Structure 1
């Protein structure tokens, strides 16, 4: 695939955290308009890769390009300003604020709820009915699945070119996971490029267009999600499991 078809590219990225060398030359391409799954065992370096893309940890070597622009040395607010949204594993919800206030914080063009884009808000309510239902409730009082919906809704309250989400299905009940799969499917159809770290293989199989598998701080496999889902021997060797 030519680099022009990729929205995000990591080339030879190394990341050190203190004395620890976590990423060992990560090469990763995220095709424009597709949903890419980043899979791997615990400790493979998936979350570190996301945090390095977002500038929360600095790459010690290699380059990160977004839309053809080198963002390797940019600070996190500058990266977010390029229309990249990041939902961390802990969701980053402000527990004492209402759902409405959480979304308002992310809506840069609105200083109050009345100024939020009404059509976009209705679209989000259709994706995540719980966001509308608990609009005036403190976010900290919501269930894990509802908080996850608020976290993703907050990330997409403004149009994004790239949405990066770390383990959206973690700890969620199967019915909530199915709702989340439907929502990400709708987001993908709306043209958003998505990078998901996921442990839930059902989730990965249903949504992924492309896949990258990490092990020991490197990408050890990249290709189509459908091809990986169909190859049990490859799944076993890369992930030690069957899809």
Structure 2
């Protein structure tokens, strides 16, 4: 089972109320010299990545650069064969996925990880680990999620498998934030979405960012990345080949072409 399991003023967190981004020079998540092998294949070749606390970090790169493998290695779905991964100062390199998730890290995989045969409500309840039934779910937090993603409320009693691609993506993110999280990791949240849905997702992630949650996103939609990213890391051939400010990369067309083969 995939782990898919955080606004403007008034967004709920530990207790519902206003939140501000946390400014910190220390990364909340850090990878140092991480290598990953999948069978006979050496996919990651010494990844160094720092995700600053309270910011939204974009992980960019061409197809096959190793972005998804990096996320899956962070979550323990694939084990690092060398190197170190730390979260909030704790070494999580050898932890199993359930233990990593219990550290308040949520992961939305590229395939979204929803249960098609269950209703939207049942999908949300499964992700709300502190609740045994819908009545025990955090009502204020649900109302906040419904404002971010109205389709989740609209199709509350519908089978998740009958939702559109964009609605499924909204449900996947909603499941990830149904409980407060310290780090949200999402693989290509805008993939396959119509432009209007992409804009809705940008608005929602902008609110999530304002709540102070730390986010790490893999993204191919450059408009999405430019609108939301604070910092950026660019991967190529299993390594991070550039790290810095997203705004600085967005203004440097020569560097964009060098790193990504295109101009933003």
Q: SS of 1:199's equivalent?
A: coil
* Equivalent in the alignment of 1:212: 233
2:75 to 44, 54, 72: 54
Q: Is 2:29 the partner of 1:11?
A: no
| Alignment partners' CA distance in 2, 1:101 and 1:50 | 26
Q: SS of 1:96's equivalent?
A: coil
Q: Is 2:54 the partner of 1:25?
A: no
| Alignment partners' CA distance in 2, 1:26 and 1:36 | 15
Q: SS of 2:106's equivalent?
A: strand
Q: Is 2:61 the partner of 1:40?
A: yes
Which residues in structure 2 correspond to 1:69-84 (within 5 Å)?
69-84=90-105
Q: SS of 2:51's equivalent?
A: strand
Which residues in structure 2 correspond to 1:90-129 (within 5 Å)?
90-129=111-150
* Equivalent in the alignment of 1:155: 176
How many aligned residue pairs are there?
241
Residue by residue, what CA displacement relative to the aligned partner does 1:128-152 show, whole Å, maximum 9, x if unpaired?
0000000000000000000000000
Q: SS of 2:44's equivalent?
A: strand
Structure 1: which 5+ runs fail to align? none
| Alignment partners' CA distance in 2, 1:160 and 1:178 | 23
Per mean C-alpha deviation after superposition, the further-off stretch among 106-115 and 10-19 is 106-115
TM-score by length of 2: 0.91
Deviation of residue 5 (structure 1)? 1.7
* Equivalent in the alignment of 1:195: 216
Structure 2: which 5+ runs fail to align? 1-23
State the superposition RMSD in angstroms: 0.7
Identify, as 1 or 2, the structure richer in helix.
1
Deviation of residue 4 (structure 1)? 5.8
TM-score by length of 1: 0.98
| Alignment partners' CA distance in 1, 2:218 and 2:106 | 14
Q: SS of 2:147's equivalent?
A: helix
2:243 to 203, 222, 226: 222
Q: Where does structure 1 differ by over 6 angstroms across 4 or more consecutive aligned residues? A: none
Q: SS of 1:15's equivalent?
A: strand
